[in-house]
Amino acid sequence: MTTQEGTPAASASPDATPFIRRGAIARGLKTTGPAILGYGFRPFFFGGAIWAILAMLLWILSLTFGLSIGGSYGGVNWHAHEMVFGFAPAVLAGFLLTAVPNWTGRLPVAGTPLAILVGVWLAGRLVFLAPDLMHISISIIVESLFLPLLLFIAAREIVAGKQWRNLKVLSGVALVMIANLVFHYMVLTNGDVALASRFGVSAFVLLVMLMGGRIIPSFTRNWLNRAGETRFPVPFNRYDALSVFIGAIACLGWIAAPESSPTVVFALIAGALHAIRLYRWRGWSTTPEKLVLILHVAYAFVPLGFIAVACSALGWLNPYSALHVMTVGVMGCMMLAVMTRATRGHTGRELTASPTTQLIYLCIVASALTRPFAEMIPDFFHTLLAASALLWMAAFSLYIAEYAPMLLRHRRSRG
């Protein structure tokens, strides 16, 4: 049996990953083999961050110097695909493969099985750099293997651990997988690629609504309790369920009929409901600890995104501006918030934001706030686009600079 190290999950950092199952078995932190393959967050957070930088750099070089990317798939389609279905699923995999062992008490996917999964993801990125080197259909098949494999592995672990309530999280993963296939189909048939993009982004927004409702109040309560506070976030109740349900309907409207009146109505209601939901979590109380505060800031882009969708449907905002509130704001900010926290918690570091980590948050929030204005101020389109892209790359570059040593080395003990 592979040698393991670590503490029982029940006594591990309470903030490392939400909802640790009481009485869970010892954590599977491998001490044999490379550290990068010891836990799912390690290779996927590292690879996802690297790809977030490289994919954006290639896109900027394409726009600036005419660099050919994506071949017959199309440069614009390649960029949209790699941001939503290339970079983002890697971070999703890192989170999921780290959370599932805490939910189930089973040892994490590590070593050779993890290496195979990472290899499948990496193969998809490589073949899509030049999809015509093989027949484009073959490249699409290779690219499309990762999400079904991730879904299968996560479902197997959850079922084996009999954690049935957590199966609903996999619905979001399944939607991302289906959206990826729809995106490919739309490209190959000259269909509505924008619809497929909205589908994929909406799937991630749904995951943020679901998982944000678990991790944000949980982490906030833990921090407030340690700080001696007595007023805590409101626990999940019917209001949260209603907010997620209306948010899902608003996303459906945005996908299928982005300019319709019902989409305006549901998006505005969803925006209001999620703004109140965020208020109920008492984020302002966490201002001293930016590692907690950033979770609230990231979730704030959910109601902002729904309002942007409504404004776009009314013709008051460019559709691409609304889309980027969701992608850079909701997805980018929340992913870096989770990546920094999970990396620190699962590698034995103190759960506090260093100056570099705070700079990461500043860069990604600034990128999210800057990007929607590119279409709103056409005279400064390229300037704002470049500024947002540089801030995006700076955020993930800083993550690599500070967190790569943690990801590439074995866990250290606290205290």
Give the burial class of 301: count Cβ atoms within 10 A of its Cβ; 0-12 exposed, 13-18 middle, 19 or more buried.
buried
**CA distance to 145, 276, 315, 338, 350, per residue, from 99 (Å):** 22, 27, 41, 11, 19
User: Count of CB atoms within 10 A of residue 386's CB?
Assistant: 16
Token pair in block for residue 176: 């991302």
| pLDDT tens by residue, 113-145 | 999 999 999 999 999 999 999 899 999 999 999
E-strand ranges in 233-339 read none
Q: What share of the chain is helix, strand, coil (3-state, %, to 5)?
A: 75, 0, 25
Going by C-alpha positions, the residue among 255, 109, 247 that lies closest to residue 179 is 255
pLDDT at residue number 120:
97
Total residue length of the chain: 415
For the chain, 415 residues long, give each residue's pLDDT as a single digit of tens: 233 333 333 333 434 444 444 444 334 455 567 899 999 999 999 999 999 999 999 999 998 888 889 999 999 999 999 999 999 999 999 999 999 998 888 889 999 999 999 999 999 999 999 999 989 999 999 999 999 999 999 999 998 888 888 888 899 999 999 999 999 999 999 999 999 999 999 999 999 999 999 999 999 999 999 988 889 999 999 999 999 999 999 999 999 999 999 999 999 999 999 999 999 999 999 999 999 999 999 999 999 999 999 999 999 999 999 999 999 999 999 999 999 999 999 999 999 999 999 999 999 999 999 999 988 888 888 899 999 999 999 999 999 999 999 999 887 655 4
User: Can you read off the two tokens belonging to residue 232?
Assistant: 């805590």
Confirm whether pTM is higher than 0.75.
Answer: yes
- Calculate Rg over the CA atoms of the chain: 20
d(CA 75, CA 78) in angstroms, rounded, equals: 5
- Mean pLDDT across the chain, nearest whole number? 90
Gap between the Cα atoms of 73 and 82, Å rounded? 12
What is the sign, positive or negative, of the torsion defined by CA atoms of 223, 208, 338, 156?
positive
Q: What integer pLDDT is reported at residue 86 of this predicted model?
A: 96
* Contact present, 413 and 39 (Cβ < 8 Å): no
